[in-house]
Amino acid sequence: MEQTLGKTERLHKRDFHGVRWVRSGKSPHFLLFKSTKNETNDLSVTRFGVVVSRKIKGAVKRNRIKRLAREFFRLNKHLFPGSANYSVRVMRMPSGLTFEAVSLELGTLATRAFNG
């Protein structure tokens, strides 16, 4: 399995329009969504996107949480089944912006959402 996150595996702003999203899971800081558009995407690749509202102040913090979430997905693609589109919405900023804290919470969220 490749340990990269290529352009085809990222959701961009235009990919969010016209797609119906279903909430797959919730944690104290994140919401996980899966697209329902034919249950799979046309590329037969699992794709991932991160949404952070501007209500969370500080562009540096918003960009940092997006980088950490993308890094989690890059290393844990096996947790997300099928070739579907997944989106994570950051509801509140975690107190510790470390990769360990973010990956622990997102890992628990993905495991609960897709494994029971």
Sequence spans of domains, the chain: 7-109
Cβ-proximal residues to 14 (8 Å cutoff; 6+ apart), any chain: none
pTM: 0.84
pLDDT tens sequence across 76-109: 888 888 778 899 999 998 888 899 999 999 999 9
CATH assignment, 7-109: 3.30.230.10
Q: Express each pLDDT in 17-52 by its tens digit.
A: 777 888 889 999 999 998 876 545 666 788 899 999
CA 102 centroid distance within chain: 11
Q: What is the per-residue pLDDT for 95?
A: 82
Phi/psi of residue 92, each to 5°? -135, 150
Hey, how many other C-beta atoms are within 10 angstroms of the C-beta on 48? 21
E-only strand ranges, the chain: 21-26, 30-35, 47-52, 85-90
- Specify the higher pLDDT residue, 64 or 45: 64
